[in-house]
Amino acid sequence: MPSANSRSTEHAIDIQFLERWSPRAMTGATISETELMTMFDAARWAPSSYNSQPWRFVYARRDSAHWPLFVSYLNANNQGWAKNASALVVLVSKLNMVTPATAPKEVPSFTHALDCGAAWGYLALQAQKMGWCAHAMIGFDYAKATETLNLPAEHRVEMMIAIGKQGDKSILPEALAARESPNARQPLAAITHEGPFAKS
Ligand SMILES: Cc1cc2nc3c(=O)[nH]c(=O)nc-3n(C[C@H](O)[C@H](O)[C@H](O)COP(=O)(O)O)c2cc1C
């Protein structure tokens, strides 16, 4: 069975799923607009309900005037490492969508966050393929990001993403350096179930 990064699988999946992981040690390398757009391009090919494409990628590159604002959203723990990222992205979802039955009227989307999750996954895999790493974050000030990004109505902040070139773990605070390695997964048997659960 495939194995990479001290990770192994139960079935013959593509090796890219093992190779992608979420390092925190980042070098602060400069990322080009083209490299970033390539990652967003991969992300927009994710499937979404009614092809509603609710994802919006609001970003700052580290050399830009917007960088300090985006870093200021992060909690202290995430700031400790993500300040060395090359780009910070706020993934925003659009809450409403048009369906064939309701066009041109918009209706609430039940799956906007789910769709954005798929797009994030595509972005992370594309980044990995390009020699970058992408690390998702929930540890930040959602209210501040919502307010200062001037989000249009009917949009919601979902998560942040730090994108960078992997660096040596010695640049991390001690506690994070100790955790800087690819982690494992629950066995398939723990997360799959054929048919309904038994009634309790
Ligand atoms: C929605 C989401 C939020 C996360 N938030 C954080 C975070 O705030 N800080 C952090 O260091 N890691 C965060 N992570 C990274 C996860 O801990 C990591 O993806 C998980 O342990 C699996 O490890 P892997 O990505 O290396 O395979 C987050 C991941 C996701 C998908």
The residue contributing the CA closest to ligand 1 atom 31 is 136
Residue 20's pLDDT band (boundaries 50, 70, 90)? very high
Find, among 96, 165, 91, the residue nearest to 128 by Cα: 165
Q: Which of helix, strand or coil describes residue 53?
A: coil
Does residue 5 have a pLDDT over 90? no
Which tokens in the block code for residue 167? 């660096």
β-strand 133-137 against 106-108: which pairing, if any? unpaired
Does residue 113 have a pLDDT over 90? yes
Write down the pLDDT at residue 118. 98
Write down the pLDDT at residue 107. 97
Q: Which atom of ligand 1 sits closest to the CA of residue 182?
A: 26
Q: Is 21 in the pocket of ligand 1 (CB under 6 A)?
A: yes
Residue-level length of the chain: 200
**Alpha-carbon radius of gyration of the chain:** 19
Cα 4 to Cα 138: distance, rounded to the nearest angstrom:
27
Q: Which atom of ligand 1 sits closest to the CA of residue 139?
A: 8
Write down the pLDDT at residue 3. 87
Rounded distance from Cα 22 to ligand 1 centre (Å): 7
Q: How far is CA 87 from CA 30, 53, 177, in A?
A: 8, 22, 21
The mean pLDDT value for 157-184 works out to 96
Does residue 2 have a pLDDT over 90? no
Find, among 50, 35, 49, the residue nearest to 114 by Cα: 49
Q: Is the CB of residue 52 less than 8 Å from the CB of residue 115?
A: yes
Q: Which of 138, 157, 180 to mutate to test the pocket of ligand 1 (most atoms within 8 A of CB)?
A: 138
Q: What is the pLDDT of residues 148-160, one digit of tens each?
A: 999 999 999 999 9
Q: How many CB atoms lie within 10 A of CB 100?
A: 6
Distance of CA 65 to the CA centre of its chain: 23
Rounded distance from Cα 99 to ligand 1 centre (Å): 32
Q: Which of 18, 135, 140, 185 to mutate to test the pocket of ligand 1 (most atoms within 8 A of CB)?
A: 135
Q: Is 183 in the pocket of ligand 1 (CB under 6 A)?
A: yes
- The string of DSSP letters for 171-186 reads GS-HHHHHT-S-----
State whether CATH 1.10.4080.10 applies to domain 19-178: no
Handedness of CA 138, 119, 83, 166 (dihedral sign): positive
